[in-house]
Structure 1
C-alpha cells in the first residue's frame, strides 16, 4: 500500500508530580525531548492536592496503575519535596518503602522545588538552603522566578545544560534523563 506511513508509537514515561511547579518542570523536560527529536512521551500526572509523602506516593502508584497501557510505559518517576519527609516521620518512611517497592525513580527535591532548581545554575550545584530560604536564594539568581511556572517560562531561562548540571549532583534526576534519552550512560 503506497502512501501509508506507519507511525511509530512513542515510548512513555510516567512522571508523578507533587504540584504545579513539578508539572511545569515535567512539561519542560518534554519540550527538551521534543527538541532532541526523541520518540518519547512523558505522561505527567499532578498528584494534587499535595499532602504528606505517603498520600502522594499512594496517589502516584494508583495513577500509574490506572494508566492506559496501549503503549508500554518504560519507566516511572516521581518528584517530591524532601522537606515533607520528616512530617510525620513514619509516613515519610512508609512513602520511601512504597516507592522503592513499586520501583519508582524518586527525585527528592531538597528542601523543595526551588532548592532543586537552584542546583541548575553554575556554581550552585551543591547549594542546600535551609527550609524556607530556597525561594530567596533562587530569586537572587533568577529575579523573574515564581512558583508554578509553565514549561515555556522555564524554557526562557533553563536549557538542557542547566538540567544536566543538576543531574550530575542528583542521581535520580540523571536516571530520569536517561529514561527519556536526554543523557546517555548507565543509570
Structure 2
C-alpha cells in the first residue's frame, strides 16, 4: 500500500491512487508507522516532527502532533535518548503529522507499557472519529478487537478469514480472536511471532 515493495501479483489502490505509479500523491494522503524506527539519533523529537512537517502542505503543528502521542514533555529529548516506547510513539507522530487520510500502523503498541498502550489506543480511536482510515498490522488480538471494524487474517500471505472481529471469532467457533487465530492457522500467536 505504501509502495515500499514491488508486488509479485495483484493490484492495490489507495484512495484511487496506485502506490507505485503515484508515489508523490500517495505520500500526501498516506501515513506509515513501521515497527522499527530508524531516525537521526542526534535530532530531538521536536526537530524530527518539524522536519516531517516540511514534507506536507497542511501539516499538524509540532505541538499538536507531540501532544497527540503524549510526547510534549520530551520535545527537546534527542531521539537516541528516548525509551523504546517513546521512540514508538514518535514514529506514530511522524506518520500522523501530515494529516493523512489513511494510516498504516505496524505493530502499533510494541514496546509500550500497559498505560501508554491504552493511551495510544485512545489517540487512535480519536483519529477514527475524525474519519481517518487505519490499517493496523498486529499480533495483539485484544488490540485488533478494540480498534478494528473489520479484519483480514493472513496465514503465509493468504487470506484465511475476514469480517468483523465477531464474525471471524464465530467463523472459527472460538471464544475470542486469539483462539480464532489458533483454530484457523493451527499455530499459536507466539509461533507466529517466532517466524
What's the TM-score once normalised by structure 2's chain length? Answer: 0.33
- Flag the structure with more relative contact order, 1 or 2, with Cα contacts below 8 A and sequence separation at least 6: 1
What's the TM-score once normalised by structure 1's chain length? Answer: 0.34
